Amino acid sequence: MDVLKEFFGIGGYSRTPEGAWSWQHILFTSVMISIMIFLSILLGLKFRKNERIKQKTIVIAAIAINAFEIFKITMLSIRNGDFFDTIIHTLPLFLCSIMLIVLPLAAFTKGRLKEASLDFVLIFGFIAGVFGTVGAAQNYNAYPVLSLDNVVSAITHCISAFSSLFIGITGMATLKAKNMSITVTILLVVVALAQIANLTIPYNYMFLERHDGTPYSIFYNMVNGNLILYKILVIGGFALLIGVFYLYRFLRERVRERNKKVSYA
d(CA 222, CA 243): 22
pLDDT tens-digit series, residues 65-107:
999 999 999 999 999 999 999 999 999 999 989 999 999 999 9
Task: Report the pLDDT value the prediction gives residue 176, as an integer from 0 to 100.
Answer: 95
Task: Report the pLDDT value the prediction gives residue 137, as an integer from 0 to 100.
Answer: 83
pTM: 0.94
Encode the chain (265 residues) as per-residue pLDDT tens digits.
Answer: 577 788 999 888 989 999 999 999 999 999 999 999 999 999 999 999 999 999 999 999 999 999 999 999 999 999 999 999 999 999 999 998 999 999 999 999 999 999 999 999 999 999 999 998 988 888 999 999 999 999 999 999 999 999 999 999 999 999 999 999 999 999 999 999 999 999 999 999 999 999 887 888 999 999 999 999 999 999 999 999 999 999 999 999 988 888 877 766 5
Task: Report the pLDDT value the prediction gives residue 1, as an integer from 0 to 100.
Answer: 58
Task: Report the pLDDT value the prediction gives residue 3, as an integer from 0 to 100.
Answer: 79
